[in-house]
Amino acid sequence: MDSHDGVVERLIRAALLPVCALSGSVVAAGFFFPWIVGPVVPGRGWLAVALLFFGSALTYLALLPLDAPGREAADRPTAPYLLRVRHVPVRDWAAGFLDRQAPVTFAAPVVAVSLFFVAWLVAPRATDAAVGIVRDVLFREAGWLFLVTMFLAVGYCLFLLVGPWGSITLGGPDADPDYTYPTYFAMVFTAGIAAGVVFWGPAESLFHYGSPPPAADVAPRSAGAVGVALSYALFHWGISAWSAYLVVGLPIAYFTHRHGAPLRVSTVLAPFLGVDGLDGPWTTLVDVLAVFATIGGVATSVAFVGRQFLAGIDFQWGVAFGGVGSVLFVAGLVVVYSVAAETGVHRGVRRIAGVNLVLFALFALLLVAVGPRGTVVDASRVAVARYVTDFVPMSLPTLDDWVAEWTVWNWSWWFSWAPFAGLFLAALSKGRQVRTVVFTAVVATSAASGLWHLLLGGTTLALQRSGRADVLAAVEAHGGSEAVAGFPVLAALPLGRLLLFLFLALIVVFIVTSADVSTLVVAILTTERGTAPTTGSIVFWGVFQGLVAVAVLLVGGGQSLQTAAVLTGGPFAVLSLVALVGLAATFRRHERGHATVLGWVRRAATDGGDPPDD
């Protein structure tokens, strides 16, 4: 970035700081002293004030300089080349923009999304029906594909953890990681899960409690339904789900860092096409599908998160917002995640991911402190035991309507997000051992999301059963929306206002961490190979995702577009199987002589051998 833009950044930071301080003071006073601030700030003003606070704080954080004054130049971290953004002056954003794009990968997703909205405007019922037919066929007739693929992915990850290939270092034995491990984990975890974990933390186990899976053979709303409900929440957000990202991301990481392949989703085909053959129609098709899945999935998530955020405000304070409020919310998100993506991984993306993880941990600790700990621990013990003992039958069940609507839908959703989450994982993993990558991307992440569901879901069920909060009634009163499930739970707990404040903050920060990564990844995929995306590319894709989200909110068709994006999980499930076969064959051919975990343990026991370095 040139000196002029450096001056612009300083001016923006100077303007944001007082806005952040003032709006933060109003928001904090409104939460903790509502009888003072309530008469001054009208209900609709809370949306603007909350957005100003969250948005200005995150944007200011993203724009802070990378280096402290006086830091030696030799010690400054440099962004990994694969994730680098070329910062150009504003006047040059449009100059040569199209010349820098990969024509088909750039144009095809834009045209496809635009045609979808045209079709929905012209014939909404026919469009919804067509998408619904494809969904029913894929989920009910071919649902076994997702079930088997996910089960194999888990088995593959387990083998990598203990087998000889786990000691392979991505980038070669002398490669060093670009990030500390806490930063690495924070970015991997927060980028791939979005705000869905916030809403579904209290909601999913509640839904399973009210309508248990038929195979569980327990009565709805019974004591036996509690363990079943929590175990299925663990299952749908646990090691199976996160394995989908790993089986796409690891092949990209290996061939990118070990064999010089381009950072593209299509690099998973390298074992079959060769690194020099990754420039044909099949690879282009894979990358186009990856961009479409990312745009459709993340943009609809931004739209639905905006709607859910406003639904929560309506539920909590009785203040309804129309289309203008939704557009304002999305516009605020677009500004924040576009700035974070443009400032790069070392600045905006890394910092906001860190804030996200801190808020996540703080909320969990407070919930442990004020929640019904004994009941939650007892229910969690039953749920974890059931998850472990019934993992195989839960993974390979008889395909019925419940399995199709819940498990198959979830697996397709995780596979549809695997392209951008997997590619981001691949780019971050240089210098890490395969075993460390698998542990982080599957074990550690699923442990964090599982703990969240046990704490928040267990608390929800405990309050529901004790009568302290009728969460099911609140959800039913709002049309079955999961968006309101958390609010009656938090209102029934001590420190409820503080928990609610953190809950709303988590919603915003989680969606920003996924959207900034998706913006960066799509810009990389659509830019010509060998060329880093420019500021103009980042802004284009950030705004485009925002426009799609606004169109979903104002025009409609969001559920169908989301379903269409989720349906791309089918091709990527198949592609992941192909990738696993190709990667295993490559490992057998080129990666011999590596130690297994059992072999290291034996050596350590006999001669005090040290474990391999990461």
pLDDT at 452 over 70: yes
Q: What is the mean pLDDT of residues 419-427?
A: 94
- Which of 107-111, 247-251, 294-298 is predicted with the least confidence, judged by mean pLDDT? 294-298
How many separate helices (H) and strands (E) can be counted in the chain?
A: 28, 0
pLDDT band at 44 (very low <50, low <70, confident <90, very high): low
- Residue 405: other Cβ atoms inside 10 A: 12
Q: What is the mean pLDDT of residues 581-586?
A: 94
pLDDT at 4 over 80: no
% of the chain surpassing 90 pLDDT: 53
The top-scoring range by mean pLDDT among 175-179, 388-392, 483-487 is: 388-392
Return the SS3 of 534.
Answer: strand
Return the SS3 of 527.
Answer: strand
How many residues would you count in the chain?
614
pLDDT at 148 over 50: yes
Which among 346, 349, 262 is positioned nearest to 542, based on CA atoms?
349
pLDDT band at 233 (very low <50, low <70, confident <90, very high): very high
387 CA to centre of own chain:
23
Q: Which token pair is 468?
A: 């302290």
The overall average pLDDT reported for the chain is 86
CA atoms of 256 and 248, how far apart (whole Å): 13
Burial of 33 (0-12, 13-18, 19+ CB in 10 A): exposed
In the block, which residue shows the tokens 């964090």? 448
- Which of 65-69, 89-93, 315-319, 339-343 is predicted with the least confidence, judged by mean pLDDT? 65-69
Helical packing angle, 496-526 and 3-32, nearest 10°: 150
pLDDT for the residue numbered 42: 63
Please name the helix (run of DSSP H) or strand (run of DSSP E) that holds residue 416, with its range, or none: helix 409-428
